């Protein structure tokens, strides 16, 4: 299976400080890569660099003409922001049929949500809206920056199931940042442990040893293994 992404010796500097240092990894088409690491480890910087938002040294090689969707770290719009969900989607300059299709693909069938202000919907519903937004244009790879943060446990499970379903239905490749190690075992073909440099990389069952996790997060880490589906 061919690589959809190849990263070689990636280095990102902010004010002469290395935020990402000499990072290399590959991602094959149809695989899921989960990125874990402590706060300030460079995870969000990595995603933004991959989509061309941040200057870098090294090499990032995407498959030719690949379409990329990106869901940023959770946004918290002001409750009084005068922007409806419909107006939000209209920034994409698409017709109403495409909007309806995107919403239904993330399990939103009540189209009255289109008239609601983006600042008043629940965090779980907002996350679905952002995922629907990222699916416009039928991307081949999706980048998610902590899509489960700020959502209650029941909502987390629902969003995770949604991602799993979308991945299978659309034959997607996914890069996902999370702090939840159980998601890694459920979802990942490969895991990248990042703390400015690569601490571990490979299949979760092989890469996530107690020693590597202790190195990644510091101190003693309790490791709970889950079946991979």
The more confident residue out of 78 and 224 is 78
Q: How many domains does the chain fold into?
A: 1
- Residue 226 falls inside a structural domain: no
Phi and psi angles of residue 198, each rounded to the nearest 5 degrees, phi first: -75, 120
Confirm whether 130 is domain-assigned. yes
How far apart CA 121 and CA 216 sit, in angstroms, is: 36
Task: Classify residue 121 as exposed, middle or buried by CB count within 10 Å of its CB (0-12, 13-18, 19+).
Answer: middle
Whether residue 47 has pLDDT greater than 90 = yes
**pLDDT reported for residue 50:** 97
The model's pLDDT over 85-134, given as tens digits with 9 standing for 90+, comes to: 999 998 888 888 999 998 998 888 899 999 999 888 887 788 888 889 98
Give the CATH number, domain containing residue 45: 3.40.50.300
Q: Which residue has the tokens 């590959």?
A: 26
Q: DSSP state, 91? A: T
Residue 203 pLDDT more than 50? yes
| Portion of the chain with pLDDT greater than 90, in percent | 46
3-state secondary structure of 71: strand
Domain span at residue 208?
3-217
Domain contains 228: no
Q: What are phi and psi of 33, to 5 degrees?
A: -115, 125
């Amino acid at each position: 299976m061919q690589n959809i992404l190849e990263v070689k010796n990636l280095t990102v500097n902010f004010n002469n400080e290395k935020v990402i240092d000499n990072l290399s990894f590959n991602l094959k088409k149809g695989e899921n890569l989960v990125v874990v690491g402590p706060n300030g480890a460079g995870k969000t910087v990595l995603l933004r660099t991959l989509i061309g938002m941040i200057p870098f040294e090294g090499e990032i090689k995407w498959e030719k003409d690949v379409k990329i969707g990106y869901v940023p770290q959770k946004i918290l719009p002001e409750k009084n922001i005068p922007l409806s969900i419909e107006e939000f989607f209209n920034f994409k300059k698409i017709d109403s049929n495409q909007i309806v299709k995107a919403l239904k693909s993330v399990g939103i069938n009540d189209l009255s949500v289109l008239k609601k202000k983006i600042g008043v919907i629940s965090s779980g519903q907002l996350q679905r809206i952002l995922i629907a937004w990222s699916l416009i244009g039928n991307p081949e790879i999706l980048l998610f920056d902590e899509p489960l943060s700020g959502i209650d446990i029941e909502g987390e499970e629902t969003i995770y199931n949604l991602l799993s379903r979308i991945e299978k239905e659309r034959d997607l490749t996914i890069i996902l940042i999370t702090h939840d190690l159980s998601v890694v075992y459920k979802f990942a073909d490969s895991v990248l442990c990042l703390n400015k440099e690569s601490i571990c990389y490979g299949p979760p069952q092989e890469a996530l040893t107690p020693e590597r996790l202790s190195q990644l997060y510091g101190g003693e880490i309790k490791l709970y293994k889950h079946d991979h589906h």
